[in-house]
Structure 1
Amino acid sequence: MPPVIVLALGAFGAAALVKLLARESRRVNAELDAARRSEEPEAPLSRRTLRRDPATGEYRPSDS
């Protein structure tokens, strides 16, 4: 088989593999995005403050 044909087959195979991997990564990212949207959003940690519990002396997140 001439080397040009082997190189062409290799290039077509590589292009098909890249296309397959790109499609799979888009599918996985779509699943992850849907899962993130369905989760309940949490309060950012920067907005939460700690208050000292006078009974135990431990610091706990404030309710507000």
Structure 2
Amino acid sequence: MKHWNMVLVLVALLLLPAMPAGVFAQDGAALSLSLSADKSSAAVGENITYTYLISSTGNVT
């Protein structure tokens, strides 16, 4: 019985370096875009100020 235990330990030690180590996550690049204005309506000649907000919402750096 001890012979088989040694064989199993040797096989495990031989296979151990072939196993990948670490945590693997899927890359997901993503952006979100938000647009807002300082007023909802304007007369001819009035200025409207727009604000763009672009955010990185993915997990890629």
Category of TM-score, reference length = shorter chain: 0.3 to 0.5
Q: Calculate the TM-score normalised by the size of structure 1.
A: 0.33
- The higher-RCO structure (CA 8 Å, 6+ apart) is 2
Question: Over alpha carbons, which structure has the higher Rg?
Answer: 2
Which is strand-richer, 1 or 2? 2
